[in-house]
Amino acid sequence: MKYFYPLIALFLVSFYSSNTFSQDGWTYLITKKKANDFHQLNGSGTYKIKGKKLVGISKYGTPNSFLATKINYGNFILEFEVKIDTGLNSGVQIRSLSKAKYHNGAVHGYQVEIETSPRKWAGGIYDESRRGWLYPLTDNPKGQKAWINNKWNHYRIEAIGNELKTWVNGILCANLIDDMTAEGFIAFQVHSIQRKEQEGKKVKWRNIKIKTNGLENERQKSDPTVSVINLNDN
C-alpha cells in the first residue's frame, strides 16, 4: 500500500487547490461545481452560473428573488465584484433568514445595497423585510462617490461580532453596530421590477470569495471620518 501514498497526496493537493480553498484561507463561494450549495427563495428571477461568475436576470411579475447559501455564516469577510444594468436595483443579503412563520418565508435580514440611482447609496445597509434602512449614505459623501455606474465595482463586507462594515472600491461606506442577527445565510438578490420594459436587465457578480477564520488579522483599517451608527441598547 505504501506505493499509493504519493498518488493520494497528489490527489488531495490537486482537489483542494483547484476547487474551493486557497493557501490564504479564502474560499470561492460560487463556482459551477458548487451550484448545488445554493437554493432560490421567494421570486422566480433567473440565475445563471458561468464559471466563477453569477448572473441574475430580472423578470416581470415576480417578487424579489434570492439565490441563497444552504448553510449559515456568522463571522466572515466577503469580497466580490459586481456590475449592474442602469435602473436595476440589487443587493447581497448577509446573516439573513427565511422562516415559514415570518411573512410566509420572506427573506429578511441585513442587505448590502447595490444600485445605480441618483441618491448613491450603494454600499449602505438595509434591513430587508424587517426594519428598513439601518445605514443609508446620507451623511457619508465619500461613500456616495464610491460606486461607478457601468463598471465592475469591488465590494468588501466585514461581519465580525456585532460590527458590520462595507467598502466599495476601497472606500468605507457603512460602519454599523447591531446585534439583532448573529448568523444566517448569504444571498444574491434580483430585485422585482415595476415595468415590463425593465425585464431582462442583469446584475453580474464575479470572484465571490469568503473567509471565516483568522478574521481579526484581516480587518481592514477603518476611516475615522465615517460615522458609526450604533443600534444596540447600550
Domains and CATH numbers, the chain: 26-230 (2.60.120.560)
Torsion over CA: 70, 75, 81, 85 (sign): positive
pLDDT reading at 45 higher than 80: yes
Of the given ranges (29-33, 44-48, 215-219), which has the lowest mean pLDDT? Answer: 29-33
Cite the DSSP H helix spans in 5-137. 5-18
More confident residue, 23 or 121: 121
Closest by Cα among 179, 180, 158, 178 to 167: 158
Q: What is the CA radius of gyration of the chain?
A: 19
pLDDT reading at 136 higher than 70: yes
pLDDT reading at 9 higher than 60: no
Q: What is the pLDDT at residue 194?
A: 85
pTM listed for this prediction: 0.88
User: To the nearest whole percent, how much of the chain has pLDDT over 90?
Assistant: 79
